[in-house]
A and B are shown apart, each in its own frame.
Chain A
Amino acid sequence: MAAHAQHGDHAHDDHDHDHKPTGFLDRWVYTTNHKDIGTLYLVFSLIMFLIGGAMALVIRAELFQPGLQLVHPEFFNSMTTMHALVMIFGAVMPAFVGLANWMVPMMIGAPDMALPRMNNWSFWIMPFAFALLLSTLFMDGGGPAGGWTLYPPLSIQGGNNVAFVIFAVHMMGISSIMGAINIIATILNMRAPGMDLLKMPVFVWTWLITAFLLIAVMPVLAGAVTMLLTDKYFGTSFFNAAGGGDPVMFQHIFWFFGHPEVYIMILPAFGIVSEIIPTFSRKPLFGYQAMVYATASIAFLSFIVWAHHMFTVGMPLGGQLFFMYATMLIAVPTGVKVFNWVSTMWKGSLSFETPMLFAIAFVILFTIGGFSGLMLAIVPADFQYHDTYFVVAHFHYVLVTGAIFSIMAAVYYWLPKWTGRMYNETLGKWHFWLSTITVNILFFPQHFLGLAGMPRRIPDYHVAFTDFNMISSVGGFAFGLSQLLFVWLLIDCCWLKRGQKATDEVWEGARGLEWTLPSPAPYHSFSTPPKIDDSKLAHGDVTH
């Protein structure tokens, strides 16, 4: 057991000299504190995860057997569209921003984010954006049903939900851009003296690179949806072939945003796993600089692979070859990362607390998602796989067992630092094993469905696909129920405060500035800059 339990009151307990606002509005609505805003992001993300999950269960319930059982096809399509928008923009991205808010200042020795008031605004835009998006489900004509990719002309043939969705996407984009600017400004300007760029924890590095990706591509999405808006309401013909426009151009613009977006959702996950594995291996991270350069390489490559999402729309052979090989090239820096995680564990003194279990599952299951991605990169094979359940299986391995598992790992890893209490380890392990088993029951059969030709975004299917769909649906409901354990564990730790008191270091092998602070972390940390001791960094002394 790596966790140290401590029973006495800590000399620096959180109520010492924190000057925490007392009123609810002052504490949560007007807050400029990075920890409070981080908490708001994480709570918001959890709520969105449950809403998006409920939508996924509607999909899996309808697909339990062939034929139309429970919902109208239009509503089914609305569910697939909204599930994706809610999970991507409401659950995964805000969770990572929440983790960045909580941890980046503490990891680089800064007192807060560089732009605290903008930080508040970045968060408080989000609930309004999602209220707008979810309100479309109650409108005449229902919510958007053309897929999260919003391809015209289908996406703008809906009713007035189009305007609501586009405005919501704009607001989410503004929130993300402001969050990204804040993170870059913080990392570049607020590091404690001695915290050189190449001494920063890998989580901070991955977030710095992710924030640049956000800056570069969120305006592209904003541009694309603005053009959709003007095409629908103001008579332009950006994507209308009848008016001289080109619907395929939307796909190019969308995926120029969309592919880097995929990495926006996975690079911070790489950072989290690179923090957790060294701690529970009791060894410095293997190949720190290689990790940083691999992250930067993946970010660069993410800009030159977008058209692999659209091989089937018709493209010159040279284009197909370029995008195929560029996509395959991403396997090289990603392989470096997987190699380094495994090498960090090699001959380490491993222990398997819940964060480490989720991190190891991430390495294995994300790699499965990576391999199916390589299969999809092969142009002639993609003609078979395109728009089938194989694609659905692929990106759910990357996003659920990749991004979401890393978020779970991060929450378990840093929860004692946030709350000052250990979570219930037994419950954590139950949550891990149930999630890992059921998520594979849910998504692995979808590979077979896709290879057999079952199309995605379809509420009914051929009877030949019944068995695997039934297995997948059972896995889906079991996975969904498993997450209630996680919710209970959080209530138990954060609200009922039933865990043992955590020490400052929390985990025996933990290294890095955040672990030098008391648990729970004081409301204002590092008002005097910490002294950087190279040998105490998470990845060891990299200066020689």
Chain B
Amino acid sequence: MSFDPNTRRPQVMRTTLILTGIVLLVYVGFFIRAWMNS
């Protein structure tokens, strides 16, 4: 059985998108929170 990383591509892309979303949310979230405080 060959191990073709491309067979995992959909899962990899989904994980990547979710994690990128978290990164952007945290970045923007802290900005907004700090803005409210200043």
Binding site for B on A (CB under 8 A): 110-112, 114-115, 177, 180-181, 184-185, 188-190, 192, 215-216, 218-220, 222-224, 226-227, 236-239, 243-246, 249, 253, 526-529
Contact = CB atoms under 8 A, between A and B. Distances in A.
Contact of A227 (B2, B11, B20, B34): B34
A389 B1 CA distance: 59
B30 A190 contact: no
Given A227-B34, A237-B38, A246-B38, A185 B19 contact: yes
Interface hub of A111, A188, A219 (most chain B Cβ within 10 A): A219
Interface string B16-37: 1001101110110011001101
B interface bracket (residues with beta carbon within 8 Å of A):
20 to 34
Contacts of B24: 219
Interface of B: 1-3, 5, 8, 11-12, 15-16, 19-20, 22-24, 26-27, 30-31, 34-35, 37-38
B6 to A, nearest CB: 11
Given A216-B26, A219-B23, A529-B3, A189 B34 contact: no
Contacts, number: 86
Contacts of B23: 177, 181, 215, 218-219
Contact of B31 (A110, A226, A527): A226
A245 B11 CA distance: 43
Contacts of B37: 238, 245-246, 249
List of 3 A-B pairs having minimum Cβ-Cβ separation, nearest first: A219-B27, A219-B26, A223-B30
A220 B30 contact: yes
A220 B26 contact: yes
Given A189-B11, A245-B38, A227 B3 contact: no
A177 B26 CA distance: 12
Nearest to B37: A249
A115 B27 CA distance: 23
B3 A526 contact: yes
Contacts of A218: 23
Contacts of A180: 19
